[in-house]
A and B are shown apart, each in its own frame.
Chain A
Amino acid sequence: MTTAHDLGQPFMTPLAVADPGGLIQSVDWVAVAPPLIAALAALAVLVADLFLPEARKRLLGWLSAAGLLAALAALIPLVGDARSTFCFTGPAGGCSYTADHFALAFQLLALGGALLTVLLSLHTVDGAAPNSGSAAGLPGGEYWFLLLSSACGAALLPAARDLATLVIALEVATLPGFALVGLRRDGRGAESALKFFLSSVTATAVMLLGVSFVYAAAGTVQLQGIADGLAHAPGQLKPLAEAGAVLTLVGFAFKTAAVPFHFWVPDTYVGAPLPVAGYLSVVGKAAGLSGLALVTTLAFRPYGHTWGLVLAVLAALTMTAGNTAALRQRADTPHGAVRLLAWSSVGQAGYLLVPLAAAGYADSAEPLGATVAYALIYGLVNLGAFGVVALVGGSGRLDGFRGLAGRNRWAAFALAFFLLCLAGLPPGVVGLFGKVVVFRSAVDAGLGWLAVVMAVNVVIALAYYLKWTALLFAPSAGEAGEAGEAGEPAATRRTPAGLGAALGLAAAGAAVLSVAPQLVLRVVSGSLF
């Protein structure tokens, strides 16, 4: 794979030539610290992987966790006023990178989700530890590097303020994902990586075509500039601009797993290592969502009603398709648990899109707060659920969870709690609040029909979440069949430290938010941009 080097060459030459003093944009290092630290940590891991002896490779995981913690800590000084950097020196002005509340919230989600994923995968990665549920471990150094670079892209994306940076950040977040999905290098991993890859590449091409149209109509790729440009664009260019805007949404909708761009999701999640599936379902989705939110509310504001309607229809289709498909999940198919979570994540993506659609109708960025709040809640809870599935291991059949409460009480309670949060039932009050906030944004924006569709979907979703929850507390099948075979070996093992820590963090976070939802709901009322 020497291409990459060859490719880098033509660009590297001018870097040496260019006068750094006069030409290069000034940089506010504090503002860009979160994604930067993630990228540096990735590099550090890669280098350390070369020098560490085989026995000490476990340290790499903790190093990655530390890097992500540092990146998270770098968010703290940014709270408060928005800071911009990488500003254009020309007459148009504007900046490429802005760390405002919106960006911080999604960076928190991306980096926090990545941190939880690191903790979840600590025991999967070590090749020597065969207790991953999968047949073999994953190559350590590369795994951490790819995860961190993807997290870096996901953290960069919400702060990006021009289409070029957005597109590249999206690619940085996605591309390592292909490799992560296929990293087990078995048949299933390869197949799911292939599907993920093909869908993603095609969606990227479509999105880039849309970007080119938008660029033609608006004359710039800066989000704010596009809004001005589109507002004053000649009437002749309007159909092209609107089509371009909608095509641009495709790439992000693909990451968010909106119907009809969702097909890769179940197949990919099933084939990917479990932590990676959880990562994609949370951080990947967060990246797509933040991109969607940015381009719709900042760049395409003049066409609010067009994409508002498009997103509303997509949201309705997505939640309906995801939930109904999850409802059909049979208990005895292999990897049924992951598949159910995959379909449920498609359904949840539908809810997440609702406030975005509402923002188009309400012609303000205010409803976005609901998406941010719901995404934070969903991320925490969904990663937790993936964690428990990873802990239980086995063949991943839903039947394998029968009577989990008898074998591993804490895991069963945690999973039940996460599922109830996802379903939005008490005591998972936080999920309920999230749904209420989303619901209200739809009603407030006058999207009554979407609210009704959502309510029906919430009820449909109850069925499969509750069925699974009930399964946890049902008695184990008496016969020494699949259930025993799948569950026992996993349950009798000691819970790995990283996995336990991740589950504890997720459960504690969800519990705290259930008691004090104002912590996350505050973003609903505050201004984001």
Chain B
Amino acid sequence: MSTLLAAAGPLEPAARSYLSPTGQEVVFLLVGVLVLGAAVVSVTTRRLVHAALWLVVALGGLAVEFLLLTAEFVAWVQVLVYLGSVIVLVLFGLMLTRAPIGRSPDADSGNRPAALAVGLASAATLVTLVVDAFRSSWIDLSGAAGTTRVTGEYLFSHWVLPFEALSVLLLAALIGAIVLSRTQGGRARPRAGKLRTAPTKPKER
């Protein structure tokens, strides 16, 4: 794989300065700040529905970033899957669990200090690691790497096995979700009554 690395030329001495960004970089950075800001608001806001909407912004921004990185197909999938389905699901979930629409004072748990500590620690560690490793690496964005056609080719010439395993995964998730969200209707309906007379209930306590 070293040949591959050499071909990509990622570690050549820092020829490019961070002080004179290209146009792509500027857009990337602006969108990046937007994504990060939306993410932060999403995990801190007290309005639950707003959190979901800010998440839409963050994930949509990420799709733009994918596009900027020439991963076209991934970007479309991101839009389709996340914005099209996941967020809708999340909103459904919030609705079904009767989440308050307005500000809820207890949106955050008592675990916040620990969360802040772990989050900051992980940020510090990871940023240090990443900056240290990639400070002189350069991505050559010429040549489209992620068009639909290319994607189809690599998926089906190299990644057949995980792809097929994934179909089992999706089916299992589907069935699992259905069976879990089915109410205790049908044959399990009389359970409430049965429970009371069930002999296995400890009564002596």
Contacts and interface: CB of A to CB of B under 8 A. Distances in A.
Contact of B176 (A42, A165, A178): A178
B107 interface: no
Contact of A25 (B4, B153, B157): B157
Interface of A, helix, strand, loop or mixed by DSSP:
helix
B168 interface: yes
A427 interface: no
A237 B204 CA distance: 64
B133 A236 contact: yes
A243 B85 contact: no
Given A7-B170, A236-B133, A153 B165 contact: yes
Contacts of B180: 179, 182-183, 185, 193
Nearest to A7: B81
Contact of B1 (A86, A127, A182, A228): A228
A168 B169 CA distance: 8
Nearest to A237: B133
Interface string B162-205: 11011111111111111111101001100100110011101010
A251 interface: no
Nearest to A217: B133
A37 B141 CA distance: 44
A496 interface: no
Given A179-B175, A482-B202, A232 B1 contact: yes
B40 to A, nearest CB: 18
Contact of A86 (B80, B161, B195): B161
A55 interface: no
A219 B200 contact: no
Contacts of B187: 54, 127
Contacts of A77: none
A165 B159 CA distance: 8
Given A1-B178, A175-B169, A135 B194 contact: yes
A96 B162 contact: yes
A88 B157 CA distance: 8
B85 A168 contact: no
Determine which residue in B129, B162, B177, B182 has the highest number of CB atoms from chain A within 10 A of its CB, and name it. Answer: B162
Nearest to B73: A10
Contacts, number: 194
B116 interface: no
A171 B148 CA distance: 26
A372 to B, nearest CB: 23
B100 interface: no
B160 interface: yes
A107 interface: no
Nearest to A19: B156
A164 interface: yes
A472 to B, nearest CB: 21
B204 A229 contact: no
A14 B129 contact: no
Nearest to A162: B162
B167 A8 contact: yes
Contacts of B165: 153, 156, 165, 168-169, 172
Nearest to A132: B200
Nearest to B184: A185
A216 B172 CA distance: 31
Contacts of B176: 142, 146, 175-176, 178-180
Nearest to B174: A4
Interface string A416-447: 00000000000000000000000000000000
A500 interface: no
A489 B199 contact: yes
A240 to B, nearest CB: 4
Interface string B3-32: 011000001000000000000000000000
B129 A25 contact: no
B1 to A, nearest CB: 4
Nearest to B132: A239
Given A145-B172, A165-B161, A165-B162, 13 more contacts: A4-B174, A6-B80, A6-B81, A14-B148, A97-B161, A136-B191, A146-B176, A149-B171, A169-B162, A175-B169, A185-B180, A216-B133, A233-B5
22 contacts: A1-B174, A3-B89, A6-B81, A8-B167, A11-B155, A42-B168, A86-B161, A96-B160, A146-B179, A149-B172, A150-B172, A153-B169, A169-B165, A172-B169, A179-B175, A182-B180, A185-B180, A185-B188, A220-B1, A236-B132, A243-B125, A395-B200
